[in-house]
Structure 1
Amino acid sequence: MLTPSSPPLPLNRKVCPPGACDCQLERLLDDERADRRILLLTKEEEKRLIARIEAIGSYVELMRVGQRLEEQLGVRLSIAPGPNEVRTVRGFAIELGPAPGLCRKTRQAIPAAIRRCLDNHPEIAFAILDAHDLLGQR
């Protein structure tokens, strides 16, 4: 829980209700050495990010967005075929690496936006499969 002695949050960053999220925001704010770039992701910026992800048109662009997530927010994006068969985009394992301060809703919204992008652009899904050598073209 945030205390009066806790460092202030950015103006647009809201605190999750107690027990509703596992973002560990308190731990992030208490540790002076912690990477606080994730605090730059406000609700408005998250909406822009989701819209940007849904508008992606190529595999290269998707990988670039993943790289930018890591550079700017310190969040690692992983997209790989799931452990079972990949028949639809639901078969992909899309995960965000652990990052204190990353809200549970955001950890769900970004993979959902990527799945919507893959639904709209199946060629990106095939490129992901090809990148993991599942189509046997290498």
Structure 2
Amino acid sequence: MLQIDFPIRKECPPGACDCKREQLLEDAAADMAALAVLRLTKEDEKRLIQRIEAAESYEDLQRIGLRLQENLGVALKIAPGENEVRTVMGLQIELSMRPGLCRKTREAIPAAVRRCLKKNPAIIYAILDAHDLFGV
């Protein structure tokens, strides 16, 4: 078993998650970069969700996505869907799959982004504009 010097997320109930947390912890070859995703405790996740919901611009969301990538190695992708975008549900909001990332977290972060976008429609227009949907 690997010696870990930082608090990690508690395990999910058996059968409730597909995060492969135990397998990651048991892997003797696992390095600290691979284990970084386990640093996202439930309390940290709540703060992250609050921060996402409080974002007031597309740049804020991009910074949050960059910090997720730097600290946890998880990519947040927000892009227009393949079909037309009439509502927030037309956007594709994905969190990259990574061993150790809880299923609930993979669902909670995109949901928080959607709530943020519903409160701030200007961010949706910035996303569309960044993907050249309004370009000529």
AA of the residue aligned to 1:132: H
Identity %: 62
Matched, 1:13 2:12: no
AA of the residue aligned to 1:121: N
Q: Counterparts of 1:133 and 1:61 in 2: how far apart (Å)?
A: 19
2:30 is matched with 33
Q: Is the 8 A contact 2:68 2:74 kept in 1?
A: yes
Q: Counterparts of 1:78 and 1:72 in 2: how far apart (Å)?
A: 16
Runs of 4+, deviation exceeding 3 Å: 5-12
Q: Counterparts of 1:9 and 1:112 in 2: how far apart (Å)?
A: 31
Q: Is the 8 A contact 1:10 1:39 kept in 2?
A: no
Q: Counterparts of 1:20 and 1:9 in 2: how far apart (Å)?
A: 26
2:66 is matched with 67
Shift of 1:13: 2.1
TM-score (norm 1): 0.89
AA of the residue aligned to 1:33: A
Task: Could you tell me which runs of 5 or more consecutive residues in structure 2 were left unpaired when the two chains were aligned.
Answer: none
Greater shift in the superposed pair: 5-14 or 51-60: 5-14
TM-score (norm 2): 0.90
Q: Is the 8 A contact 1:94 1:111 kept in 2?
A: yes
Q: Is the 8 A contact 2:74 2:95 kept in 1?
A: yes
Q: Counterparts of 1:81 and 1:65 in 2: how far apart (Å)?
A: 19
Q: Counterparts of 1:41 and 1:54 in 2: how far apart (Å)?
A: 17
SS across alignment from 1:36: helix
AA of the residue aligned to 2:66: Q
SS across alignment from 2:12: coil
Q: Is the 8 A contact 1:77 1:97 kept in 2?
A: yes
2:49 is matched with 50
Note the aligned Cα RMSD (angstroms).
Answer: 1.7
Mapping of residues 79-98 of structure 1, within 5 Å: 79-98=78-97
Q: Is the 8 A contact 1:7 1:29 kept in 2?
A: no
**Aligned pairs, number:** 133
